[in-house]
Structure 1
Amino acid sequence: MTAPRAYPVRVEATLDEPLSRGLWLVKWLLAIPHYVVLAFLWFAYPFVTIAAFFAILVTGRYPRPLFAFTSGVLRWSWRVQFYSYAALGTDRYPPFTFADVPDYPARLEIAYPEKLSRGLVLVKWWLLALPHFVIIGLFAGGGSWLAFGNGNDDGFNWAAGGLVGVLVLVAGVVLLFTGRYPRPIFDFVLGMDRWVLRVAAYVSLMTDEYPPFRLDMGGTEAGVEPPHPQPHPVRAGNWTAGRIVAVVSGAVLVLGAAGLLTGGGTLLWADRTQRDADGYLTASATVVASGYAVATDPVQVTGAPDVFAAVGDVRLRATTTDGRPVFVGIGRSADVAGYLAAAEYTTLGGVSGNRSGDRVHPGGAPATSPGDAGVWAAKASGDGTQSVAWPANDGEWTAVVMNADGSRGISVRAEAGATVPALGWVALGLLIAGAVFLAGGALLIGFGAHRASRRPEAPRTPEPSTVDM
C-alpha cells in the first residue's frame, strides 16, 4: 500500500506526559499574554496576506519576508492552541517567537513555494476552499478560524466549539479524575487540528497544493520521516519586535485610511451629485399621524459662526398627500412645547420606514390654529408644497408640521435639507488624510517587511592584538 504523499504544511505534536490534572482549568488565564499579542498579529495578518495576494498576482511569487510573517503567526498560534484548548497537549508554556523551536512539543513547518499560480490566487481562498470550510466548520464550531466573518474577534482561536472543543473538554475531565490523557482522543483531535491548519495555509495563499480530504490522526505526519522539511532561507527570527510593531501599526493606519477614503469619497459624491436645484442636500419621509401635529425632537444648536457657516441654511418642506392645506414651522423648543402642551401630537423618533421610535403625546386640540400661535421663528402654510428656509442660530429648536386649519390627522411627505457649503472641503480633507494614512501604513508595512528580509550580519571576529616588543 502506497503511503500518503507529504503535504507541504507539516503539523507535528507530541503528547507531553505527564500532564497536570488541574492546570488546564486555568490555562485560559495563563495564556492571556499570548492572546493579547496574537490579537495584534491577527489584526495585521489579513493586510499582509492582501499584500502577498497582489505580489503573487503580478510576479507569481510569495515575498519571502511576508511568508515569514504569516507562517510565523500560524506557528505561534499553533503552539498556543496546543498548550490551551485546541489540544491541552502540553503544560510547557509557549515561547513568544515566530521561529521554530525544535524542542517544543508542537511544531509547524510550511515549505516555501518557489512559484505560485497567478490564476489560482484569485479563487482558491474563497471558492475552491468552500468544501473545506464546511468540514472544518464542524471541527471548529462556527467555521474556519481564518474564514473572515466567523464571529470570532481573535482569529487564531478555533477551539471555541465544535468537535475540537467538545473532545478536548472530555479529555480535560478525564485528565482531572485519572491523571491520564486518553490517547485516542489526542490522535483524533490532532487530525482535526492538522486539517484546520492545512486549510488555513491554503486560504492564506501559502501553497497551491489542495488540502487533502484526509484525517491524518496522531501527532506525526503520515508517510513522512524526520528530519523536518528545510525552512525557507529567510529566518522567522528576523521578525524582531520592532518590525512586528511596524507592520501592525501600518495595518492600523491602512484600516483607518480605508475609512477616511470611503467617508471622503461618499461625501464628495453627495456634494457633487445629490444636491437639488437650489443647492440643498435633503432627506425625506412620508409622515402619517392621527393627532394634530408632528414634531421633531429638540435640536440643540451651538457653535461659533464658522460652525453655522459650515451648516449653511436649513430648509424644511412638506407636501400634503390628502389635499388639505399644510403648515410648516420652526420655533424655539420651549415655545413650541408650550403651544403643544395640551394637544395630541407625535414626536418623530425614527428614520424613513421606521416609526418604532415615534412617541404619541395624549391630549386634545390646540388652543389656536398654528398660523396664529406666534411661537415661530419661520413658518409657511398653504396648499401643495410649503417650505421654510432658516439660517441656523444658537438655541434649542423644534420643527412642526400640522394642517393649516389645526385639524386632526396628518398625512404629508416631509423633507429636511441643508446647504452645507463646507461639505466639499470636508470631503477633500478626509481624502487627503486617507491618502496620508494609506501612504504611512504602506511605508510601515514595507519597512518592516524589508528589514525582516535582510540577513543578519555575521559577528565580526576580533583581530588579534599585537604587542610591540
Structure 2
Amino acid sequence: MYPVTYEADYLRERNRLTTFFRLIVAIPWLIVAYIYLIAQMVVVFLAWFAILFVGRFPEGMYNFVGGILRFTQRVNGFMYLQTDAWPPFGIGEDPSYPIRVNFHPPAARQSRVKDLFRLILAIPLLVLSYAMSYALMAVAAISWLTIVFRGYQPAAIHNAIAYLMGWSTRATSYIYLMRDEYPPVGDETPVEIDPPAGALAASEAAPLDPAPAAEAAPPAPEGGQAPPPAQ
C-alpha cells in the first residue's frame, strides 16, 4: 500500500438541501484552503532545497505539508459529495471525521536526484491528474443529481469518487516531495470477497477431516471355516 492514503466512509442517505447548495456552503473552507495552499507552496519550496542539500525532508515541514494536504482533501471530498459532515478547519488528524488522509513518517533518506528533477518526473502524473479531474467532476455531477432528486448516493458512485480522490491524494503527495515512490494508479488495497452462501453452507456442513474407511475384513476361506488365529 502506498504510504499516503485516502479513505471516505459511505453513507447512503444524504442531505438534499446542503447538497444542492454545496458550492455555496463550501466557500468558507475554500477561502481557508487558499491561504493554506500559499503557505504549503512556500514550505515545499524550502523542502526542495533541504532534500537537495541534506537528503531528507525535515519532519516539521513534512507534517505541515501533509497536514495541509489532509485539510484540502477533506474539503475536496466535502465538495465532491463524499460526505455531508462539515470539515474541521485544522490540519491535524481527526479519526471521527468521515474522510481521512493518513501518511507515513518522512523517509530517513530521500533521493537528491529525484528531488532535483521532480517536476520532470511528475509530468505523466500531471497529465493523468488533468484527465482524472474531468472524470471526477463528471461522476460528482451524477452524484449531485442523484442525491438532489432521489435523496441517496449509490455505493458505486461513492467508490468511484473515493478512487479518484485517492489517486489525487497520492499524486499530490509525490509532487509535493513527500514521497520518492511513484504513486500507483490503483490503491493496492486487497479486497475480500465473501463466498456464495450455498458454497459457505456446504463447506460448513462437510467434515473437516473425515475418518478413513474401515479396512475390509479378509474373506472367509472356502468351506465356511474361520481362518486360524495368528501365532
- What's the TM-score once normalised by structure 2's chain length? 0.78
Which of 101, 105, 113 is the equivalent residue of 2:98?
105
- Tell me the distance in 1 between the aligned counterparts of 2:97 and 2:74: 8
Matched, 1:222 2:189: yes
Per the alignment, residue 141 of structure 2 pairs with 169
- Tell me the distance in 1 between the aligned counterparts of 2:146 and 2:109: 47
The structure with the greater share of residues assigned to helix is: 2
- Letter in structure 2 aligned against 1:119: V
- Letter in structure 2 aligned against 1:84: M
Structure 2 gap segments, 5+ residues each: 193-231
Cα displacement string for residues 361-380 of structure 1 (whole angstroms, at most 9, x for unaligned residues): xxxxxxxxxxxxxxxxxxxx
Q: Report if the CA contact (8 A) 1:139-1:163 is conserved.
A: yes
Structure 1 gap segments, 5+ residues each: 1-5, 141-161, 226-469
Matched, 1:139 2:132: yes
- Letter in structure 2 aligned against 1:181: Q
- Letter in structure 1 aligned against 2:190: G
- Letter in structure 2 aligned against 1:66: M
Overall identity of the aligned pairs, in %: 32
Matched, 1:71 2:38: no
Moved over 3 A (4+): none
Q: Shift of the alpha carbon at 1:224?
A: 9.1
Per the alignment, residue 83 of structure 1 pairs with 78
Structure exhibiting the larger radius of gyration computed from Cα positions:
1
- Tell me the distance in 2 between the aligned counterparts of 1:134 and 1:222: 24
SS at match of 1:33: helix
Q: Shift of the alpha carbon at 1:176?
A: 1.4
- Tell me the distance in 1 between the aligned counterparts of 2:104 and 2:20: 35
Cα displacement string for residues 157-178 of structure 1 (whole angstroms, at most 9, x for unaligned residues): xxxxx11111101111011121
Which of 175, 178, 203 is the equivalent residue of 1:206?
178
- Tell me the distance in 2 between the aligned counterparts of 1:65 and 1:224: 34
Per the alignment, residue 39 of structure 1 pairs with 34
Q: Report if the CA contact (8 A) 2:19-2:147 is conserved.
A: no
Q: Shift of the alpha carbon at 1:10?
A: 1.1
Matched, 1:121 2:131: no
Q: Shift of the alpha carbon at 1:71?
A: 0.5
Greater RCO structure (CA 8 Å; 6+ sep)? 2
- Tell me the distance in 1 between the aligned counterparts of 2:69 and 2:13: 26
Matched, 1:24 2:26: no
Per the alignment, residue 202 of structure 2 pairs with none
- Letter in structure 2 aligned against 1:222: T
Give the length in aligned residue pairs. 191
- Letter in structure 1 aligned against 2:72: S
Q: Report if the CA contact (8 A) 1:61-1:116 is conserved.
A: yes
- Letter in structure 1 aligned against 2:161: V
- Tell me the distance in 1 between the aligned counterparts of 2:144 and 2:97: 21
Per the alignment, residue 226 of structure 2 pairs with none
Cα displacement string for residues 370-423 of structure 1 (whole angstroms, at most 9, x for unaligned residues): xxxxxxxxxxxxxxxxxxxxxxxxxxxxxxxxxxxxxxxxxxxxxxxxxxxxxx
SS at match of 2:182: coil
Cα displacement string for residues 330-360 of structure 1 (whole angstroms, at most 9, x for unaligned residues): xxxxxxxxxxxxxxxxxxxxxxxxxxxxxxx
- Tell me the distance in 2 between the aligned counterparts of 1:15 and 1:55: 40
SS at match of 1:22: helix
- Tell me the distance in 2 between the aligned counterparts of 1:213 and 1:73: 22
- Letter in structure 2 aligned against 1:201: S
Q: Report if the CA contact (8 A) 1:11-1:107 is conserved.
A: yes
Counterparts in 2 of 1:293-312, with a 5 A limit?
none
- What's the TM-score once normalised by structure 1's chain length? 0.39
Counterparts in 2 of 1:137-286, with a 5 A limit?
137-140=130-133, 162-214=134-186, 216=187, 222-223=189-190
SS at match of 2:102: strand
- Letter in structure 2 aligned against 1:76: F
Per the alignment, residue 379 of structure 1 pairs with none
- Tell me the distance in 1 between the aligned counterparts of 2:160 and 2:76: 15
SS at match of 2:16: coil
Q: Report if the CA contact (8 A) 1:48-1:70 is conserved.
A: yes
- Tell me the distance in 1 between the aligned counterparts of 2:150 and 2:22: 19
The structure with the greater share of residues assigned to strand is: 1
Q: Report if the CA contact (8 A) 2:11-2:153 is conserved.
A: no
Q: Shift of the alpha carbon at 1:223?
A: 3.2
Cα RMSD after superposing both structures:
1.7
